Structure 1
Amino acid sequence: MNWNAIVIIICILITALAVWKEYVRANQSRLVLRLLTTITAVIALACIALPLTYQVDVNKQDKREALLLTEGFSADSVSKYNTEKIFTLNNTISKKIPKAMLIYDLADLKADSTITQIRILGDGLDKEELQRLDHVPVIFRPAAFKQGITAVSWNEHLKAGDEINVAGTYKNSLPGKIKLVLKGLSTGLDSVIIAPGEAVPFNLRNTPKNQGKNVYKLLAITGTDTLENQNIPVQIEPAKPLNVLMLTASPDFESRFLKNWLSESGFAVAVRSAISKDKFNKEFINLDQFPLDHLSASVFGKFDVLIADLSVLKTLNGVEAAALQQEVLQKGLGIVIRADSSLKSNSWLQRDFPSDRLAVKDPAPVSLNIQGKTGNTAKLNAGMVYLANQANTQSLISDEHGHVLAANALAGAGKLVFTPLNNTFSWILGGDKADYSSLWSLLITKAARKVATLESWTIKSVIPTLSNPVELQLESAVAPPLIQIDSTVISPIQNSKLPFQWTVNYWPKTVGWQSVKQNNGALNWFYVYSYDDWKNIRALKKQADTKAYVANNAINSNVTKQIHEKATIAVSKIYFYVLLLMACAFLWLEARFR
């Protein structure tokens, strides 16, 4: 039986019992009045429990518009609209505007069939909230953004030695200049000046010293006033030392400086340099010695990266070449190939990297653009050779004229990095060690053998905020029975189309770092911001989501004549509460004073 039938049956039974009680009581005075009052009380109770509605004829043009007040609205703007239906999801707003009805679910607006459209005042709603409107047309015209950070991003996960890069856009509407400062451990790390009346991009960088979980600060300062003080959470993991094998045609300065830099940076390095035919000079740094005269699959399997001259790779015998190709294609070994004078080759190592030469005989030194590094490097004599742009390769390093000087490409399970640069050591001689480190760190990182991960966590919510839903995504080959976030245990939701993907919805209770892991899994962390953090960015995100909803649910303005419809109106329960109270009060007083 449905709810209506259950309510009616229960009320009939109550009425029968109450009427019988009245007939059998000793005092029969005012019996008819008491029976009518008893029946009235039961009817009022039934009307409270039943969903009573009625229908009226309305014209579509006569339907009313509802106002929805969101954060950032102007109180003066409410009086501009002649409507009795004003709603809000915010408890603070409902206290500020008493006539705004507090609702907890946007589906309540859609349930009222007299509402043709909703006019949203303020910053709007996020994507999840807008889905609850279920395509109800919306009018939305947010106020123009005046002052502050309009966009920001940074690399939240770093390896030791990596550079944090905080980039974004700041709009300065003030008459004076504003200073943006990246701060860590109470120390200014980098800064930039924003001129008055400008909206310009900014970029702040620093190489963190402390490993683990860190929270940097991004400050906007004008004079002695701090306009913004935002948190920049960053996780810095210790760099995993890689095993590097170097094969050089002969001892030279480029190989010598590279070997020294690798050892200083904590890499385990084995170097084999040809002295004469079948005779080699071998060095082992941070690595136990082992036979290196003959290369085999077991030798290549000990290393994550191979750095080799192209001429050396071309002279490997058939067994060594086959072992190398198998290790790259099937097991993911990466190779950094240093090109030499011998550029033309049909080898699988060079097939994706066709080269060309400059037309000039004596090229001038140039600055290089290194992927992931802001600004150009110091001048370097890059030589005559450069690589042609290819659709299946990725440019890593180019000069100021756009010539590609390093690129990488996939090779089965591994990667190949190709570069004609052979005198980067001149940077170290000139004191530009940072440029040297950036270049070789990039080439080695791009080529290094990738370690398979058992699980991967992604925070889908842009800015996880206290007391707001946060969506986390787990990719795991093992089905996680339960997920633990701090002390809370949650059951994940499996993606019906991607069975290795799981979604976790969580409402944070505290600000700061939160731990998350699956049973017997590794411990991961994410940061939860306070309600006051990144307000401008969150407001702009809501505005963008609301504008997208408006564009996809446009109001149909082509109707030129009145359309008669039936509107369903819910009967207010307050009348039945009053009727029930009056009936109960009469029965109590009559019994007391009879």
Structure 2
Amino acid sequence: MSAPMLVAAALALATLMVIWRSLRRETGVKARLLWSAMSLLAAAAFWLLLYPPQRAWREDALNVIVPGGDAAVSSLPSGQSIVALPGADAPARVERVPDLATALRRHPQVRELDIAGDHLPLRDRSVAAALRLRLHSAAEAPGFRDLHWTQRSAAGQQWFVVGGVSAEGATVELRDPAGALVDAVAVESGGRFSLSAPARIAGLARFELNLLDARKQRIDSASLPLEVESGIALSAIVQAGAPSPELKYWRRWASDAGMRIDSHIALSDGLGVGDASAMFDPAALAAADFAVFDERSWLALAPAQKATLLAAVDQGLGLLLRASGPPDAGVLAEWSALGFALASEGSAVSASIDGALSLREHLDFRAAPLSITGGSAAPLLSDDHGRVLIAAVSRGQGRIALSTLLDSFQLVLRGDAGRYGGLWGRLIAEVARPRQPAMRRSPIPVGWVGERQVLCDLGDQARVISASGAETRLIVSERCAAYWPEEAGWHRLADGDAREPFYVRASGDAESLRNHRDRVATQALASAGESTVAASPVAGRRPMDRWPLLLLWLLPTALLWWRERRPLSPR
């Protein structure tokens, strides 16, 4: 006889003895029936507790709880094993695994995954690529969805950040390393935004981007690391027919930017500040990066000086022509001959460049009475109505730019010197003598603590120096290596004599950005898996959970125990 049969026989005999005692102990018919039923219920529950019923079970499917997926646990199908990845808020009885690969080793028959949540972490997606995925996700929390910004900028330049958010009536603000507000904007109807800030001092900096709701409460934040390079000090030749506020503030900016300026400013006939003749020495022109002339100083040049200047342009010198008023007919003809299609106008015109400069408040600028209507010139700056304010043409190895903007210095007067510097920095970079920049690798993408980063174009001795100074020797294979950062902050990739900085975010920094990235990638995996032919389910049977049966047995057993110890009723 089998063990279950022996247990059943012993249990039946014990139950009959308990019922017989109940019949002798109780006098009322109802009491006898009640306690006999309790005895039978306790015996049946005890049998089920020892030999629980079998239920259908899928061996080829696995429920997975990911971080942030606790709200979707109730939607997971029953009859499957369930595991929880690190960081997931799961019930205590759920099996914990360090990663998805470990879970699949413990459940080797699994071919399908039901995921409580909307994303798999980066380390687990490659493992899940060969499986069919079903996502059971709640609504995505508000926050940043994508961010793109200038990771490396020259000092004095304006750098930009654009991105998208999912939040109604939100505002995005940008704060500098000291916590001061440098720019803010209301999110557009499509969830897009654009911000900018000046790169002031060479070095490594961490800006912070905050997402605020309609009540100005912060709902998300992200670090924006920026590497500011010192750049190359340029040499300029400047000639002007008269002093002007525009020239004053331009020279101050150029001096603050580290440029070496040789200037001559005419004050009256035969009287000026600076030595104009020395500027046309071929050696001086060859050493300069660009030259600046307005229409009056151009008119004062001798034909031989103009020829010398244009010959230097052919050799790579940049030339910036400034129209500060109505140009002389001769000047207009000579500038047109350089490749500009020009037309003289009666008086200065108003120009709005709020969009071009991403201004938050409207500011009226003025342009010289000179329209640039076409020709071979390429526009460098246009107003919001399409009028070209600054354009450039190529000549030999150099470039010639023509500016009709009269009062860009208003940006400095309103306290926006960074945007002023960014405007002229970009324009001078377009015109100045081309220089071969130092060869550098592209900025290393920003990662997170504990998340693998792949570094390539490495030598055999490459290593990483962490924010605290700890060094990690990289194992390089085919010029690439994997690195798992353990702390947040600026790291350095040391490869030979080169030191390349890169930033690592803390685990909770820009969390919604990482979650959205993983969500999109996981949904792509799930969509790819839908096109594969599903295999037949691998059905099995497993005992049902014993804890409900334990409760079912415990209740009648406790009542029977209480009855045995209560005083006997008098007959």
- Code of the aligned partner of 2:150: N
* Corresponding residue for residue 548 of structure 1: 524
- Go from structure 1 to structure 2 and tell me whether the alpha carbon gap of 1:115 and 1:456 turns closer, same or farther (over 3 Å shift): same
Q: Is the 8 A contact 1:370 1:398 kept in 2?
A: no
Among 254, 259, 264, the residue aligned to 1:267: 259
CA RMSD in angstroms comes to 4.8
Is the 1:368–1:399 Cα contact (8 Å) retained in structure 2?
yes
> Are positions 1:505 and 2:491 aligned together?
no
Aligned residues: 465
Contact 1:71 1:122 in 2 (8 A): yes
1:532-571 alignment to 2 at 5 Å?
532-556=508-532
Rounded Cα–Cα distance in structure 2 between residues aligned with 1:529 and 1:444:
35
Pick aligned residue for 1:233 from 225, 234, 250: 225
TM-score (norm 1): 0.62
Structure 1: which amino acid aligns with 2:504? V
Following superposition, the deviation at residue 304 of structure 1 comes to 2.7
Confirm or deny that 1:447 pairs with 2:426.
Answer: no
Q: Distance in 2 between matches of 1:386 and 1:270?
A: 30
CA distance in 1, matches of 2:500, 2:377: 33
Q: Residue 517 in 1 paired to residue 494 in 2?
A: yes
Change (3 A) 1:141 1:417: farther
Give the 3 Å change call, closer, same or farther, for CA 471–309 of structure 1 in structure 2: farther
Unaligned runs of 5+ in 2: 1-57, 466-470, 541-571
Distance 1:66 1:154, change over 3 A: same
Q: Structure 1, residues 113-151: CA drift from partner, whole Å, max 9, x if none?
A: 955544443232367753444554434464332323334
C-alpha spacing 1:300/1:503, structure 2 compared with 1 (3 Å): farther
Question: How far 1:74 moved relative to its partner?
Answer: 3.0
Question: Structure 1 residues 537, 409: closer, same or farther in 2, change over 3 A?
Answer: farther
Distance 1:102 1:471 in 2: 25
8 Å CA contact 2:163–2:194 kept in 1: the answer is yes
Task: Tell me the alpha carbon deviations over residues 140-172 of structure 1, each in whole angstroms, 9 at most, x when there is no partner.
Answer: 464332323334344343444444555444444
Amino acid at match of 2:314: Q
Q: Which has the larger radius of gyration?
A: 2
Equivalent residue number for residue 23 of structure 2: none
**Match in the other structure for 1:419:** 402
Q: How does 1:55-204 map to 2 (within 5 A)?
A: 64-74=60-70, 76-77=72-73, 80-86=76-82, 90-93=85-88, 96=91, 98-100=93-95, 102=97, 104=99, 106=101, 115-125=110-120, 129-140=124-135, 142-163=137-158, 165-172=160-167, 181-184=173-176, 187-190=179-182, 192=184, 200-203=191-194
Percent of residue pairs identical: 17
Amino acid at match of 1:324: V
Q: Judge conservation of contact 1:94–1:102 (CA < 8 Å) in 2.
A: no
Distance 1:409 1:118 in 2: 60
AA at the equivalent of 2:203: G
- SS in structure 2 at match of 1:400: coil
Aligned residue in 1 for 2:278: 292
Find the residue that maps to 1:508 and give its secondary structure.
Answer: coil
* Correspondent of 1:367 among 340, 343, 352: 352
Indicate the SS of the match to 1:396. Answer: strand
Matched, 1:490 2:478: no
Q: Aligned residue for 1:215?
A: 206
- For residue 274 of structure 2, what is the aligned residue in structure 1? 283
- Residue among 245, 252, 257 paired with 2:237: 245
Q: CA deviation at 1:469?
A: 0.9
Query: Kindly tell me: are residues 509 and 187 of structure 1, through their superposed partners in 2, closer, same or farther at Cα, counting changes over 3 Å?
Result: closer
Q: How does 1:4-23 map to 2 (within 5 A)?
A: none
Aligned-partner SS, 1:468 = coil
Which residue type is aligned with residue 269 of structure 1?
Answer: I
Q: 1:441 to 1:481 in 2, by over 3 A?
A: same
What is the one-letter code of the residue matched to 2:234? L
Residues 383 and 199 (structure 1), Cα distance of their counterparts in 2 relative to 1, 3 Å cut: same
- In 2: Cα distance, 1:449 partner to 1:110 partner: 62
Q: 1:324 to 1:145 in 2, by over 3 A?
A: same
CA distance in 1 between counterparts of 2:362 and 2:400 reads 20
Q: Are residues 260 and 454 of structure 1, via their aligned partners in 2, closer, same or farther at CA, if it must alter by over 3 Å?
A: closer
Partner residue in 1 for 2:568? none
SS of the equivalent of 1:72 reads coil
Determine the C-alpha separation between the residues in 1 that align with 2:413 and 2:177.
Answer: 32
Distance in 1 between residues matched to 2:423 and 2:212, nearest whole Å? 34
Question: In the superposition, relative to structure 1, how do residues 103 and 555 fare at CA in structure 2: closer, same or farther (>3 Å)?
Answer: farther
Contact 1:126/1:541 (<8 A) preserved: no
Letter in 2 for 1:516: L
TM-aligned CA deviation for residue 263 of structure 1: 3.2
Q: Residues 355-434 of structure 1: matches in 2 within 5 Å?
A: 355=341, 357=343, 361-362=346-347, 364-369=349-354, 371=356, 373-375=358-360, 378-387=363-372, 395-408=379-392, 416=399, 418-421=401-404, 423-424=406-407, 427=410, 434=417
Tell me the equivalent position of 2:505: 529
Change (3 A) 1:307 1:518: farther
Distance 2:392 2:122 in 1: 38
Residue pair 2:143, 2:512 contacting (<8 A) in 1 also? yes
Q: Distance in 2 between matches of 1:490 and 1:413?
A: 44
- Deviation of 1:81 after TM superposition, in Å, equals 1.4
Counterparts of 1:372 and 1:517, CA distance in 2? 38
Instruction: Please tell me the residue identity of whatever aligns with 2:463.
Output: Q
1:73 deviates by: 1.5
Once the two structures are TM-superposed, the CA of residue 214 in structure 1 deviates from its matched residue by: 3.0
SS at 1:545's partner residue? helix
Using the alignment, how far apart are the partners of 1:193 and 1:272 within structure 2?
A: 43
SS of the residue corresponding to residue 287 of structure 2 reads coil
CA, structure 1 residues 356+515, in 2 after alignment: closer, same or farther (shift >3 Å)? Answer: same
**Higher percent of residues as helix:** 2
Q: Which amino acid aligns with 1:423?
A: L
Secondary structure at the aligned position of 2:381 is classed as: strand
Residue in 2 that maps onto 1:324: 313
